[in-house]
Amino acid sequence: MMEIKDCYGCGGCVAVCPHGALTIDDVVERMDEKCIKCRICEHVCPNGLIKIE
């Protein structure tokens, strides 16, 4: 499960995702089929908004 709450749309997580699993217009969205839950994106969010379980 992955939850992104109140995203600011800064794009940091998009820049580090090695699998191109995140897209962003105003806020970020995840494409479930591409995400391998490596959790890399979790570590760059300036406000810790990404939670992966």
**Residues near ligand SF4 (CB under 6 A):** 4, 7-13, 17, 19, 21-22, 28, 30, 35-41, 44-45, 49-50, 52
17 is an interface residue for another protein by CB under 8 A: yes
Distance, in Å, from the CA atom of 53 to the CA atom of 38, rounded to the nearest integer, reads 11
Sole binder of another protein in the list 2, 4, 35, 44 (CB under 8 A): 44
Residue count (the chain)? 53
Say if residue 10 is exposed, middle or buried (CB neighbours under 10 Å; 0-12, 13-18, 19+): middle
Q: Residue 25: which of ligand SF4, another protein, none does it interact with, CB under 5 to 8 A by kind?
A: another protein
